[in-house]
Amino acid sequence: MSAVEQPDTQAGLGPRRLAWEAVSETLKRRVPLDDVLDELSPAAGLSVRDEALARAIAIVTFRRLGTIGNALRERLDKGQRDERLLHLLAIGAAQILFLDIPDHAAVDTAVQLAQGDYKLKFAGGLINAVLRRVAREREAILKSPAAFLDTPDWLEDRWVAHYGEDVARQIAEAHRAPASVDLSVKGDAALWAERLGGVLLPTGSVRLVERVPIRELPGYAEGEWWVQDAAAALPARLLKPQPGQRLADLCAAPGGKTAQLAAAGAEVVAVDRSAKRLVRLTENLARLGLSVETRAIAAEKLEDAPFDGILLDAPCSATGTIRRHPDVTWTKGEDDLRKLVALQSRLLDKAASLLKVGGLLVYCTCSLEADEGEQQADAFLVRHPDFTREPIAESEVPGLSEALTPKGDLRTLPFHLAASEPVRGGVDGFFAARFVRTGS
């Protein structure tokens, strides 16, 4: 059995109910799954183990929602449109097809949940029949599914247009595997890789090989490392932080990049519009033995110029984090993208005004979209002739030379740093460009 092995059927209702509600609310409100789970979990009153099961069910439902939806449509009457019923069937099918959970447990708990819902109490027979058919026909459902089945059309079209058919297919296939767990280490990364039974990546991050509770690992309580995707760890290094430099980290929470800058000895001003998120950042840095100055304001309102360097990890569509947050695939759309692109432009213009002559500005997004990356960087240079691009060298991103663009920007893709086992390979999709202010 896996780390989310199934307890007895009746006891298993709680995590299934939470997963069902979380999937429904996430799709209804088009908000992040993590936020919905944070809202719903306290009232659910589940154990840590059952919360983990609920989260695992919800995540795999979103990761393979295209495959699941296709399987259900082929086994349901075309007129079936009750969304809560479809969501309940989806979490049941997710357990049967993709989790190490007995089929009977997935089917029985789904039937019991329906019987406890006044709108669905007569749907038990339908649920039982559909899910048992999914279980019987599992092999046919999973046999060579189309590469883009779990990717919405709008994203497939964008990726094919920008990257080409082959790369777009590799991106879509990479999103079907869970994300790895990487650590940024304050001290000797090779030593900590050995102590934690992990792998030292060429970029300097430590990748965990086994799925284990993070807080129970050596060095966590002592603040020796923090969780941060290997690609997400690169932009702060590109700023080349030095002791005594005054740096601004705009849109700083949850603080992984802030920690990198502070650990290098820089004097950091961490800015985020969310006071709540800054509290979490401060708590994380306290565990790491690091301290920074925080400002709970919109980045556009920061006036403490000039800075030696600025890191702008701008709000974005987050399509580069789909392996880690597969709900992004189904909660974002092109309208969201247009609004975010406009915000990124404003933030870049603000960052430019805060930087001293000779200072560095690193702009990054955890997005696969050219609008939020390459196009944004080029447009910035047109608006700001007092800035020039400082190309990123291969030596700055060891093991990821394929991620450097012809113009010298960084563009990581989820299938980079591949490994024989998908869960041990890949990185988040990131774009980063570095600019130097050459004039006033």
pLDDT tens-digit series, residues 226-247? 999 999 999 999 999 999 999 9
pLDDT band for position 5 (50/70/90)? very low
pLDDT band for position 4 (50/70/90)? very low
Claim to verify: residue 396 and residue 248 sit in the same structural domain:
yes
Average pLDDT over residues 53-72: 96
> Are 164 and 172 a contacting pair, CB within 8 Å?
no
Claim to verify: residue 314 and residue 421 sit in the same structural domain:
yes
CA distances (Å), 203 to each of 69, 418, 427, in order? Answer: 38, 13, 11
163-196 pLDDT, tens digit per residue, is: 999 999 999 999 999 999 999 999 999 999 999 9
Cα 185 to the center of its chain, rounded Å? 20
Say if 183 falls within a structural domain: no
Total structural domains within the chain: 2
- Per the model's pLDDT, the better-predicted residue between 211 and 129 turns out to be 129
Average pLDDT over residues 201-223: 92
Q: Note the residue count of the chain.
A: 440
Average pLDDT over residues 389-416: 96
Domain boundary among 142, 161, 185: 142
Domain ranges, residue 115: 10-142
Claim to verify: residue 250 and residue 379 sit in the same structural domain:
yes
Claim to verify: residue 247 and residue 391 sit in the same structural domain:
yes
Q: At what angle do helices 33-44 and 48-63 cross, to 10 degrees?
A: 150
> Are 324 and 230 a contacting pair, CB within 8 Å?
no
pLDDT at 213: 87
pLDDT at 422: 59
> Are 267 and 244 a contacting pair, CB within 8 Å?
yes
> Are 266 and 243 a contacting pair, CB within 8 Å?
yes
CA distances (Å), 174 to each of 93, 171, 317, in order? Answer: 21, 5, 18
| Structure token digits, residue 253 | 């929470």
At residue 373, φ and ψ (nearest 5 deg) are: -125, -95
Claim to verify: residue 114 and residue 241 sit in the same structural domain:
no
pLDDT band for position 421 (50/70/90)? low
Say if 425 falls within a structural domain: yes
Average pLDDT over residues 265-270: 96
Claim to verify: residue 111 and residue 235 sit in the same structural domain:
no
pLDDT at 8: 36
Exposure letters 40-56 (e unless 16+ CB within 10 A, then b): bbeebebeeebbebbbb
Interacting residues of 210 by C-beta distance below 8 A, sequence separation 6+: 197
Claim to verify: residue 138 and residue 234 sit in the same structural domain:
no
Interacting residues of 191 by C-beta distance below 8 A, sequence separation 6+: none
Say if 189 falls within a structural domain: no
- CA distance linking residue 430 with residue 179, whole number of Å: 14
Cα 84 to the center of its chain, rounded Å? 26
- How buried is residue 382: exposed, middle or buried, by Cβ count under 10 Å (0-12/13-18/19+)? exposed
Q: What percent of the chain has pLDDT over 90?
A: 87
Claim to verify: residue 134 and residue 275 sit in the same structural domain:
no
Compute the chain's Rg from CA coordinates.
23
360-387 pLDDT, tens digit per residue, is: 999 999 999 999 999 999 999 999 999 9
Average pLDDT over residues 211-225: 92
Average pLDDT over residues 391-414: 96
Provide the 8-state DSSP code for 390.
Answer: -
At residue 71, φ and ψ (nearest 5 deg) are: -65, -40
29-50 pLDDT, tens digit per residue, is: 999 999 999 999 999 999 999 9
- CA distance linking residue 360 with residue 437, whole number of Å: 7
Cα 64 to the center of its chain, rounded Å? 16
- Is the pLDDT confidence value at 336 over 60? yes
Claim to verify: residue 132 and residue 265 sit in the same structural domain:
no
Say if 236 falls within a structural domain: yes
Domain boundary among 108, 142, 176: 142
- Is the pLDDT confidence value at 2 over 70? no
Say if 88 falls within a structural domain: yes
pLDDT at 3: 33
- CA distance linking residue 368 with residue 84, whole number of Å: 31
- Is the pLDDT confidence value at 439 over 90? no
- CA distance linking residue 92 with residue 86, whole number of Å: 10
pLDDT at 91: 98
Domain boundary among 88, 109, 142: 142
pLDDT at 1: 33
Interacting residues of 251 by C-beta distance below 8 A, sequence separation 6+: 271, 272, 273, 299, 312, 313, 314, 315, 347
- Is the pLDDT confidence value at 438 over 90? yes
CA distances (Å), 426 to each of 43, 119, 223, 321, 417, in order? Answer: 35, 43, 26, 11, 5
- Is the pLDDT confidence value at 63 over 90? yes
CATH number at residue 93: 1.10.940.10
Longest dimension (CA), the chain: 72
pTM: 0.92
Residues labelled catalytic: 366
Strand ranges in 214-346 using DSSP code E only, listed in sequence order: 225-227, 246-250, 267-271, 293-295, 307-313
Claim to verify: residue 241 and residue 138 sit in the same structural domain:
no
Claim to verify: residue 296 and residue 414 sit in the same structural domain:
yes
> H/E/C letters for each residue in 156-221?
HHHHHHHHCHHHHHHHHHHCCCCCCCEEEECCCHHHHHHHCCCEECCCCCEECCCCCCHHHCCCCC
Say if 278 falls within a structural domain: yes
Strand ranges in 55-172 using DSSP code E only, listed in sequence order: none
pLDDT at 6: 37
Claim to verify: residue 127 and residue 247 sit in the same structural domain:
no
CA angle 371, 277, 349 (to 5 degrees): 35
CATH number at residue 398: 3.40.50.150
Give the chain's mean pLDDT.
Answer: 93
Torsion of CA 71, 176, 169, 156, to 10 degrees: 70
Say if 286 falls within a structural domain: yes
Say if 56 falls within a structural domain: yes
